[in-house]
């Protein structure tokens, strides 16, 4: 494809926001970090690795003798759980709250680092008693409760890689993940609370485990108290197995490259990919980025990441990053509209949250619900806001800053992937003059650029494909059990470089703007148009809260742009409105980007991590049978959308 004119440089966003002077003056990381990392990238990462407490200090930094298979800090040894828990207690911080848990129904508890240490040790002892040893895999299928964190850390502590599966994935999805990872133990719960009701988890595990005979035991956390089927000998209550254990457990040191976890990415086609992360490099980058990008001051900040633990964001920015840094954080079990649409803001106010990390999909939902809802709460404690998961539309960015950040807080739009393990491209809150909608700049020690079809770096002002040009500490090590697929998927499109699968452009300053997955790029009359830019143009109209755009086969133009939009507040669907929206896109981006059809809908199909599943919308727009819907949050959404399409295109 002619990616230069393409993925086109259509959108013009001129607004700029300097870092607040006070924050910049006391920032954890300054411009100097970029210079230092540029002068000596490996030396920079070796220095960051000293954030961790090692049993054996590494003498090597990167071993890239067998690319693309990296080893970081390969002769070092440490224990990840010790770094996340014990060392803070040993440093006299045992009374600091690690987790303020807020249940959906308003119940909750605060867990100090000392208590967390006891619970992790008890769970590690219980797992050991059940025969789980170093290298064995454990599947975790839990709601957002403190036991999810405890379970992950207990696995890390004994060197048993965990594979967390979203609570809410079907029995089929769970079974295929248990099977692929060959897990011998599963940790689940009777259920969790969602939308005001107990929602069962155990039945999906019962079904999945009936097909995965390698599973020896199922540990069951009692959360909702609902009835569960029980298989004697196999099923064990978590509180019984852990409650009688000692709160002491000696953490063994493991090699830096010991596997820490497998996390499955859904992928659009084929079998899910088990992304493998190992210990020390992963923890180094999770810890460093959490410290740098959120400017975390562990003594005073209250941090809240709203992600689910089943998403990589939950792994790196609820468990490993924040806890390795000794942060105090909030964990919330439920949905943002239960029992009311101000729930998130009530939580910010209740705990005095200072750093909030959430996803564009949530921000657009809040925009749709209306400005008056956050306005009812005291959000003045907030000082840094983060975004992750999708490109954030400039209008949503501005809304987030004004209505949540009181027009005062920096926004860090953090680009990264399950595969990258930790943040890669993002502003720094005390350094970067931010641009709404742009992730801007590779972090110190990270090398990213944009290339064209022939792998040539594009000049500023042009678009193409995002690639990472140097290995980084938290990079995936392989796809579990499939080295060849690892090479083929990430390292073959542009040999020697990691291909992220995202379209991107560089602006005149060389800052990076993400344009969505390359599979989603539309080809209209010979022009490549990014879904992100058309969506952002639609969202910049005052009546639109959220938009998803796809290219549907079209006899004359190759592909035609079809837009699905959700309206804001009280706006109503009408022929005038859709005509006005088409004109608005035409004016913002140019006539070529005008959607051929605009459909007003009330919901969009999303994954559990909030990403719009454009593939399914393309199926709808092309009047095809729907593809795989197993990773959808709510499959009834598709019936609703299909009912909006009266006739075949």
Residue with tokens 């992304």: 275
Residue 517 marked ligand-binding? yes
Distance of closest approach, residue 276 Cβ to ligand 6R9, in angstroms: 14
50 is in an annotated binding site: no
Nearest residue to 135 (alpha-carbon basis) of 173, 181, 97: 181
CB of 610 to ligand 6R9, least distance (A): 9
| Residue 120 counted as an annotated binding residue | no
Shortest distance, position 311 Cβ to ligand 6R9, whole Å: 6
Longest dimension (CA), the chain: 71
| Residue 544 annotated as part of some ligand binding site | yes
CA atoms within 13 A on the CB side of 22: 4
The span from the CA of 192 to the CA of 189, in Å, is 7
Report, in Å, the least distance between residue 571 CB and ligand 6R9.
26
Report the residue number, 121 or 514, with the smaller CB distance to ligand 6R9: 514
Closest CA to 98 of 86, 116, 83, 82: 116
**Contact status, residue 164 vs residue 181, Cβ threshold 8 Å:** no
CA atoms of 429 and 291, how far apart (whole Å): 11
Distance CA 187, CA 172 (A): 17
Q: Is 416 annotated as ligand-binding?
A: yes
Instruction: Confirm whether residue 270 is marked as ligand binding.
Output: no
Peptide bond into 575 cis (omega under 30): no
Q: Hey, which residues does 597 pair with through a beta bridge?
A: 562
Residue 273 DSSP SS3: strand
Please say whether the beta carbons of 342 and 520 come within 8 A: no
User: Is 502 annotated to bind ligand?
Assistant: yes
Residues found near ligand 6R9 in the complex (CB under 6 A) = 265, 311-313, 387-391, 413-418, 439, 500-502, 514, 517, 609
Report the residue number, 122 or 387, with the smaller CB distance to ligand 6R9. Answer: 387
CB atoms within 10 A of CB 2: 12
CB closer to ligand 6R9 out of 104 and 419: 419
**Nearest distance from C-beta of residue 489 to ligand 6R9, angstroms:** 12
Q: Any binding-site annotation on 440?
A: no
Instruction: Provide the minimum distance between the beta carbon of 503 and ligand 6R9 in the complex, in angstroms, as a whole number.
Output: 9
Work out the angle at residue 267's Cα, subtended by the Cα atoms of residues 266 and 271, and round it to the nearest 5 degrees.
80
**Measured CA angle at 182 (ends 178, 188), to 5 deg:** 40
Token readout for 602 is 């009330």
**Annotation-wise, does 72 bind a ligand?**
no
Q: Does 195 carry a binding-site annotation?
A: yes
Q: Least distance in Å: CB of 525 to ligand 6R9?
A: 25
Tell me: is residue 414 an annotated ligand-binding position: yes
Q: Which is nearer to ligand 6R9, 112 or 316 (CB)?
A: 316
Q: How far is the CB of 274 from ligand 6R9 (least distance, A)?
A: 13
Comparison of 272 and 391: residue with beta carbon closer to ligand 6R9? 391
Nearer residue to ligand 6R9 within complex by CB, 378 or 433:
433
Where does residue 269 fall: left (phi above 0), alpha (psi -120 to 50 degrees), or beta otherwise?
beta
Structure tokens given for 598? 């605009």
Residue 205 CA to its chain's centroid (Å) = 24
Q: Closest distance between ligand 6R9 and the C-beta of residue 644, in Å?
A: 26
Q: What are the Cα distances from residue 3, in Å, to 97, 121, 176, 499?
A: 50, 53, 37, 15
Tell whether 594 is in a known binding site: no
Would you say 220 is a known binding-site residue? no
Between 79 and 440, whose beta carbon lies closer to ligand 6R9?
440
**Closer by beta carbon to ligand 6R9, 62 or else 148:** 148
Residue 397 assigned as binding residue: no
Region for 526 from its dihedrals, namely left if φ exceeds 0, alpha if ψ lies in -120 to 50, beta otherwise: left
| Half-sphere exposure for 187 (CA within 13 Å, toward CB) | 32
Residue 541 assigned as binding residue: yes
Q: In whole angstroms, how close is the CB of 316 to ligand 6R9 at the nearest point?
A: 8
- In SS3 terms, 217-248 reads as EEEEECCCCCCCCCCCCCEEEHHHHHHCCCCC
As a whole number of angstroms, the distance between CA 569 and CA 296 comes to 35
Shortest distance in whole angstroms from residue 154 CB to ligand 6R9: 24
Cβ–Cβ contacts within 10 Å for residue 407, how many?
10
Contact 610, 306 (CB under 8 A): no
CB of 413 to ligand 6R9, least distance (A): 5
Q: Decide whether 147 or 520 has the Cβ nearer to ligand 6R9.
A: 520
Helices (H) and strands (E) in the chain, counts: 22, 30
Residue (of 524, 646, 547, 528) closest to 598 by Cα position:
547
- Closer CB to ligand 6R9, 298 or 501, in the complex: 501
535: Cβ–Cβ under 8 A, 6 or more apart, which residues? 393, 547, 548, 549, 563
Minimum distance of ligand 6R9 from residue 420's CB (angstroms) = 8
Residue 60 known to bind ligand: no
Angle at Cα 415 formed by Cα 353 and Cα 504, nearest 5°? 145
- Residues placed in the known binding site for CoA: 194-197, 313, 525
- Residues placed in the known binding site: 194-197, 313, 389-391, 413-418, 502, 517, 525, 539, 541, 544
- Residues placed in the known binding site for Mg(2+): 539, 541, 544
- Residues placed in the known binding site for ATP: 389-391, 413-418, 502, 517
């Amino acid at each position: 494809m002619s990616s230069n004119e393409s993925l086109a440089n259509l959108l013009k966003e001129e607004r700029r926001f300097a870092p607040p002077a006070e924050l910049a003056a006391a920032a954890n990381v300054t411009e100097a970090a970029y210079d230092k990392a540029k002068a000596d990238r490996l030396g920079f990462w070796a220095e960051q690795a000293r954030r961790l407490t090692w049993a054996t200090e590494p003498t090597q930094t990167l071993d890239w003798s067998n690319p693309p298979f990296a080893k970081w800090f390969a002769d070092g040894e440490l224990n990840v759980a010790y770094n996340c828990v014990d060392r803070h207690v040993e440093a006299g911080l045992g009374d600091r709250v690690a987790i303020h848990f807020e249940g959906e129904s308003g119940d909750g508890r605060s867990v100090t680092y000392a208590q967390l240490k006891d619970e992790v040790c008890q769970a590690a002892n219980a797992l050991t008693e059940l025969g789980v040893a170093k290298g064995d895999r454990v599947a975790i299928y839990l709601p957002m409760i403190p036991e999810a964190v405890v379970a992950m850390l207990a696995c890390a502590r004994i060197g048993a890689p965990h594979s967390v599966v979203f609570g809410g994935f079907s029995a089929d999805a769970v079974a295929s993940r248990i099977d692929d990872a060959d897990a011998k133990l599963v940790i689940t719960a009777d259920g969790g609370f969602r939308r005001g009701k107990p929602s069962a988890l155990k039945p999906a595990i019962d079904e999945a485990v009936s097909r995965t005979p390698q599973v020896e035991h199922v540990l069951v956390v009692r959360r909702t108290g609902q009835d569960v089927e029980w298989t004697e000998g196999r099923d064990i209550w978590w509180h019984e197995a852990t409650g009688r254990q000692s709160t002491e457990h000696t953490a063994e040191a493991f090699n830096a490259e010991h596997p820490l976890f497998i996390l499955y990415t859904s992928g659009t086609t084929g079998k899910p990919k088990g992304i493998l992360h190992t210990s020390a490099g992963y923890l180094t980058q999770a810890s460093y980025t959490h410290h740098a990008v959120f400017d975390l001051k562990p003594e005073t900040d209250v941090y809240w990441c709203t992600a689910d633990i089943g998403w990589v964001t939950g792994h790196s920015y609820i468990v490993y990053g924040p806890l390795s840094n000794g942060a105090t954080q909030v964990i919330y079990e439920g949905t943002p509209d239960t029992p009311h649409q101000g729930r998130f803001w009530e939580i910010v106010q209740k705990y005095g949250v200072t750093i909030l990390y959430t996803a564009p999909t949530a921000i657009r939902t809040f925009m749709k619900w209306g400005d008056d809802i956050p306005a009812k709460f005291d959000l003045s404690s907030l000082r840094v806001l983060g975004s992750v998961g999708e490109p954030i539309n400039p209008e949503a960015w501005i809304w987030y800053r004004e209505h949540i950040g009181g027009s005062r807080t920096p926004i860090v739009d953090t680009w990264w992937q399950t595969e990258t393990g930790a943040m890669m491209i993002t502003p720094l809150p005390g350094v970067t003059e931010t641009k709404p909608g742009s992730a801007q700049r590779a972090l110190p020690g990270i090398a990213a650029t944009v290339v064209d079809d022939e792998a040539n770096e594009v000049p500023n002002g042009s678009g193409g494909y995002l690639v990472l040009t140097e290995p980084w500490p938290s990079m995936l090590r392989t796809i579990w059990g499939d080295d060849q697929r690892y090479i083929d998927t990430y390292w073959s499109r542009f040999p020697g470089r990691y291909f992220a699968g995202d379209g991107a452009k560089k602006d005149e300053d060389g800052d990076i703007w993400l344009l969505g997955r390359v599979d989603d790029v539309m080809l209209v009359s010979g022009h490549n148009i990014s879904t992100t830019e058309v969506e952002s143009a639609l969202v910049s109209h005052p009546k639109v809260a959220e938009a998803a755009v796809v290219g549907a086969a079209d006899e004359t133009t190759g592909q035609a742009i079809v837009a699905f939009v959700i309206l804001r507040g009280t706006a109503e669907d009408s022929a005038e409105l859709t005509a006005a929206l088409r004109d608005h896109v035409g004016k913002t981006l140019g006539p070529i980007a005008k959607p051929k059809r605009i459909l007003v809908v009330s919901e969009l199909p999303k994954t559990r991590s909030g990403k719009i599943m454009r593939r399914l919308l393309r199926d709808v727009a092309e009047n095809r049978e729907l593809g795989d819907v197993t990773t959808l949050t709510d499959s009834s959404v598709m019936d609703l959308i299909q009912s909006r399409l009266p006739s075949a295109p």
